[in-house]
Amino acid sequence: MSDRTQFYMERDRRTREYGADEERCFERPVVFCVGRDAAESPRGQLVAMAAMNMVARFHRQVALLCPHVPLLAPQSLIPAQSPQQHMSLRDALVTLATAIDPFIRTDLPVPKTTTPGIGIGTDLALQMPWHVGCNDSMVCLDTTPVSVDAKLGFSLGASLASCLAAASLCKQVLGRPMVPLSVSAWNLKQGHDADSGPSELGPVDVGSVFMIGAGGVGSSLAYWLRQSGFRGDWQVVDRDLAELHNTNRSLGLVATDAGWPNQEPRSKVSAAADLMGCTPIPLWFHELDQETLRPDLILPLANERGVRNAICLRGEPLILHATTSLTWEAQLHRHIAGRDDCIMCRMPSRSGAVKLTCSTVPLVGKGYPTDAALPFLSATAAFLVLNGLYRLMAGELCQGNHNLWRITYNAQNRLVRSARCHCQIDCVGVLPESVRRKVNAGRRWASLDPAGGGQENRHS
């Protein structure tokens, strides 16, 4: 067995186990085209680097068309230790793709026949079937070229545009229908309600944070936070070692993190913490000292060992987390104590453990449902968490009654949806107000809970 075969057998085994067709899903050539206007823009480079981060985890043969311009966004490069001095954007894209997949081909000649492809920017070397672009937080997917604004600073629009680019390529390969769309990466709405949001976003500043889980969503959030920056004391909690199949969907992991080809694997938490420049805690959540654990915010981004239920029963004033579903969907969940439903009611299970998928979706049809891990779903779920953190800072996350936001890639016209969830009549996941008031005293977001003097929109 060749090294290439062995690598893909392990890296893509979750996809293969569910009947994915090798030639159709992985080996079909795709075109990744970056226009000069986008290549010379910091935000355009963010779109290109993040999109390639996802594309290289699924597609094995890529015709890369990108001008040799100086790399303006070195913080986008994984692995971070790669030499970046005098590196061009094209070199950075190849370095990143090869770190993710040592066997990927990025030097394919441009196919002469109709080929799945994505264009970033307007000054393209070749007309693509689909294009993405963004202006501040407004994101477009279209059959004609779309510009990327040339502003400095991090952009939620550039992040979501990269997710749309990767999802578009996957859908083209699989022959799934697509339509042009425009969406706000700020208020997650389309049409007249879409808000372009702030033109400049500083570092995320929500106080002290414990991020529980450094898998698909947690690792991807670490990647986005590397781009946006953050303030405050962040700590990442996870005890798992990285495995090669994790690199299929985790934006912060490359092949060497999983020990490929013959090294010791790294812990997921170390990879995520190094990416962000924060503190790793190689423990399971239940091994932490619960009596002294009082950060301003806990982000439960892990599924195992009933961690979400355990955090629910702590009476946190605010919980933000993200999940994916079998319908090509990423979801952002808001739980404000005393106002929203609890995690246990939103995600009930007989065993008391939250049973969720990890970036798995129906992929190919053979008369039965099949699932496969897809990187753009992990990336989108992590983007939604980042979006929630920024809107929390701006005072907008807690406005209105909606507490669930969804980005659905298999939808025809409406990419984003929102809804309100309620607790069940026999809910046992909400602590009494007197207890919440006591345990959350002095915490940054305690005032969001009516028990802490927040809005009088009572638990229902």
Contacts of 322 (CB under 8 A, 6+ apart): 217, 301, 330, 331, 332, 333, 381, 382, 384, 385
303-330 pLDDT, tens digit per residue, is 788 899 999 999 999 999 999 887 789 9
- pLDDT score at 320: 96
- pLDDT score at 75: 72
- 417 confidence band (pLDDT: 50, 70, 90): very high
At residue 372, does pLDDT exceed 60?
no
Predicted TM-score (pTM) of this structure: 0.93
194-204 pLDDT, tens digit per residue, is 998 998 899 99
- 246 confidence band (pLDDT: 50, 70, 90): very high
Please compute Rg for the chain using Cα positions.
21
Q: Which CATH number fits domain 3-193: 3.40.50.300, 3.40.50.720, 3.30.450.40, 3.30.360.10?
A: 3.40.50.720
Contacts of 365 (CB under 8 A, 6+ apart): none
For the segment 224-232, the average pLDDT, to the nearest whole number, is 95
CATH 3.40.50.720 in the chain, residue ranges? 3-193, 204-452
More confident residue, 359 or 237: 237
Fold of 204-452: Rossmann fold (3.40.50)
- 341 confidence band (pLDDT: 50, 70, 90): very high
Contacts of 142 (CB under 8 A, 6+ apart): 130, 131, 132, 133, 180
Where is 323: in which H helix or E strand? strand 318-325
- 49 confidence band (pLDDT: 50, 70, 90): very high
* Backbone dihedral region for residue 315 (phi beyond 0: left; psi -120 to 50: alpha; all else: beta): left
- pLDDT score at 93: 95
Question: What are residue 213's phi and psi, to 5 degrees?
Answer: 110, 130
3-39 pLDDT, tens digit per residue, is 999 999 999 987 666 556 777 788 999 999 999 999 9
| Residue carrying structure tokens 């990108």 | 66
Please tell me whether residue 333 adopts helix, strand or coil conformation: strand
CA proximity to 305, closest of 261, 260, 356 = 356
